Every structure is written in C-alpha cells, then in structure tokens.
Amino acid sequence: MIAIGGGSPLDVGKAARLLVRRPGFDLAKFYDEPDWYGLAPLVAIPTTAGTGSEVGRSSVITLAGTRRKAVIFHPQLLAKLVLFDPELTRGLPPGLTAATGADALTHCIESYTCPVFHPMCDGIALEGIRLIVDALPRAYKNGNDLEARGKMLVAAAMGAVAFQKDLGVVHSMAHPLSTICGMHHGLANSLCLVAGMKFCAERKPGLYRRVGIACGLEVMKCSDAEADQRTIAFLAEFLAGLGLNTKLRDHSVKEEHLDALVAQAVEDPCHKTNAVPVNFEDFRKLYREVL
C-alpha cells in the first residue's frame, strides 16, 4: 500500500489495509479483533508538514455513526518506509503551510509538557520546536524555500514521535472543532494553543521555560511566571505572523456549538495527560475565550 498526501490520506492508507484483509469490517470494532499482524507493508509519502502520521502507529478515523474521531492503534499500522521529499510540499498554499506547521508545533509543545516520564521524547519535542520556529515562517513566506520545507517535514515527524508520550488540552479542544464544525485540525490547534498554554501556566508556573529557550528566548534568569509569559507572548506573535490569530467565530463556529464542543472535549482522552487537570467548566471557559 502506498499512501501519499496529508494526514488524512496517510491515515486512510493505514486503515485501508485492515479492510483489504477483512472486507466489510466495521472499524468501530477494531479492538475486538486484536490479531492484525500480517498486514500489507505501507509506504508513506507526506505532502504536508504537520500531522506526522507517516511515522505513527495509529489512524484517526471520524466514525459516521457518532461524528466523533476514533483512534485505532496497532504496531502493524506503522509504515515500513517513509519518503520525505520537500519538492512535494512546494505547492502547499501559505494558509495550509501555516496550519499544518502549527499542528506540528502544538504536538511538540503538548508532548513536552505532558507529565509522562519520557526524556527522549522531551528532547525530540524541544528540538522540533526550535526547527519550526526557524523554518515555518520561511516556508510560509516563500513556498520554494526547499531547505525550510525539508526542515518542516523533519520537525513534523519529530512532533509525532514525541507525542508517543501523549498530548493535552489543546488537542481535546481541537478534535471536536473538526468533527462538529469541519475545521482543519491544524487550524483548530493553532486557534486554541495560546489559550491552552495560558490555562496551564496559571496552574503550573514555569511549565514553558524550556519551550521558550527552544524558541531562542532569554528566559533562564526570569521568574517562572515571567518565563511563561514571555514564551506565550512570543508564540502568540509567531502565530499572528502566520495569519493564525483569528477567532473561532471567523471560521463559522457559533455560540450554539458550545454545548456539543464541550461535551466531546470532556470525553476526548488527550486532556487526561495534560500538564494540569481540566474539567467541564474549564473547557467551556476556554472555548469562550477563543470564540
């Protein structure tokens, strides 16, 4: 199986091998059949630099019956070969370049701050942040900058490797925005990232000091609160420079969506490994902040 494209086509390529082996199988019952060994090998060729799906062992599928994203996970879903060719991302429009890149950035930040102990993933996440801060603005401004495009492909894969630790509140907010409102996943992450970071920093000061260092900021001698503030302010400006400083309402998200968004966000597993606990009312306040 050869899968080429962004995160969705790559995930389809992973899951299609399951259906080739068991035609007509209901993917909602994936975990009822644990023996998925012997799947056809997968070659993954990403044409965006965001999800990192090409190096992941899972496939995210929106189930028609529930209108919710479901994750199927198995070691056999991992690609046998991944090809990174920045030429294939040259024609990606600036808006999608920014949104997919912000997805990779969110992966790195949330995986680093996830409290699960995994120093190797932490190092990969911090280096991914450094690469993205350098390369994403260049790829956004000049789609023909193949060095920047290549760095973003690598950084996106690094983000996906890092989030084997898991993710956090921003992804739990973003997933319902895609399933309920049809919003691009990277865009959803980018619009929720700053609010999610502020929420976490208020409850766990100093959380983002090393993120700030990875961004090139002088925050070593700052207080915990100031290090967080400088880091979050830098990233807010960074996203604004990519055109990612809009509100949810600018993308057809309405007040009447809030109840459904909050209900799905609470049930989303990502926030269970957030740096700090998140409850129902927290999600409602966070959505209102970015609405």
Q: What is the pLDDT of residues 206-218, one digit of tens each?
A: 999 999 999 999 9
Mean confidence (pLDDT) of the chain: 94
Dihedral over Cα of 75, 162, 169, 180: its sign = negative
Q: pLDDT, tens digit, for every residue of 261-278?
A: 999 999 999 999 999 999
Contact 49, 153 (CB under 8 A): yes
Which structural domains are found in the chain, ordered by start? 2-83 (3.40.50.1970), 94-291 (1.20.1090.10)
The answer, yes or no, to whether residue 70 has pLDDT greater than 90, is no
The answer, yes or no, to whether residue 247 has pLDDT greater than 90, is yes
**How does 107-144 read in b/e, with b if 16+ C-beta sit within 10 Å?**
bbbbbbbbeeebeebbebbbbbbbbbbbbbbebbeebe
Does the predicted model carry a pTM greater than 0.75?
Answer: yes
pLDDT for position 22: 85
pLDDT for position 283: 98
Q: pLDDT, tens digit, for every residue of 130-185?
A: 999 999 999 999 999 999 999 999 999 999 999 989 999 999 999 999 999 999 99
Cα pseudo-dihedral 116, 35, 54, 26, rounded to 10: -100
Residue bearing tokens 């799947």: 39
